[in-house]
Amino acid sequence: MIEVIMDEQPFEQSSAIPKERQDRYTTWKKNTKLLYEYLNTNSNKWPSLTCQFFPDVNTKNDSHRILLSSFTSSLVPEDESLYITRISTLKHLSWASLNNFDLDEMEFKPDNSNIKLPPKNLTTELVIRFPNGDCNRARYLPQNPDLIAAASSDGSVYIFDRTKHGTAMHSRQSGFTQSYQAKLAVNNNSQSLNGENEALTIDWNHQKEGHLVVAYSDGHVKAWDITKYKRSDPVIKAPEYNYKLDESGCNDAVWMPEHNSLFAACSEDNRLSLFDTRDESNIIDISTSVHKGGINACRFNPRNSLLLASGDSIGNICLWDIRKKETPINILDHGSSISTIEWNPNLSTVLASAGQDDGLVKLWDAGSDKPVFIHGGHMLGVNDISWNMHDPWLMCSVSKDNSIQIWKPAHNLVELE
């Protein structure tokens, strides 16, 4: 089955996109039916800086929920929001029937007269007005996906309860009230809308519910405990852990999946370190010299906590055995600055890298030095990527060109030996 659904709405700033990039997109578009088992492209009014598949799936119509945001650079505050969308990849349909074969296009299609199809594109289920600043990253609590944390450009982290918000239509019609349930901010009166100290990325602890680590643009990395929340005072001002990693900025922080106290963080000064919240003096530098141009992202392998990946601004992805310092076990070359990286939760050796400038998402086998697949559907840089928990090769990617794409490579292209 090959299902390609493309939103043809043009990107408003297409004139600013280099001709070479537009030509690349045209070539990619012509070959989509050969490259993908499933592809769904969507254009939004504003770009999203974040995306994450929720862990649930509706098996009746194979629909998946995705957490997204609207980024306006604070120019249109009323449009700044988090929103939850739903998409069906149509896996529940029976395709392999001669009755469903289209002779003109030489592919299987469902019989529309007998089958009620779900919406072809993303449908918005819920909109949450963002209280202040821009949403740099949003992630749901693993133990309770109804709780969502969002890192703001004002330096705060806002905690939202999905169940406290109505439908998308109700959210648009209702007046603006305090949308968050809790706020993590050392100084509740400070606002860093000028970017002096943004909360950049967040990661929930998979072993200790309610604990999260936050990377800040001023170089701090802080661990917070939202179980200290009180309804009478929703602002939590004291982090559990606070360390100044780098004067130039801390770009990412992530918990070790199988440990409740260890996390890694990376910085603009090419420092990749391991921290223990039980002992603030226990800091291990994994690397201080291998990367160049600043480390933008780091991720532990969800199946092997001793395996850590890090990606930098010149395009290098280093794979580390954290027991060995300054000697990566493999180095992959994305080719340009990396915005984020994500290990596949179902296939332990598969890693995805997102291009901050080139607009490409590359899928890697950790044991090789060449990508097994390259997604070229975005014309500008990729802001975030997310693997689906139920379909091993299904991914969502969001870009500066306002596009939201859900895609799955053709199985014959990504079969691993």
Go through the domains of the chain in sequence order and give each one's CATH number: 3-410 (2.130.10.10)
**Could you report the per-residue pLDDT of 42-70, keeping only the tens digit for each?**
999 999 999 999 999 998 888 999 999 99
Considering the entire predicted model, what is its pTM?
A: 0.91
Indicate if the pLDDT at residue 161 is higher than 50.
yes
Residue 158 Cα distances to 119, 195, 233, angstroms: 31, 17, 14
C-alpha span between 157 and 130 (Å, rounded): 11
Identify the band that residue 98 occupies on the pLDDT scale cut at 50, 70 and 90.
Answer: low
Cα distance between residue 166 and residue 271, in whole Å: 43
Strands 241-244 and 220-225: antiparallel
280-331 residue pLDDT tens:
899 999 999 999 999 999 999 999 999 999 999 999 999 999 999 889 999 9
Q: Which amino acid is at 282?
A: N
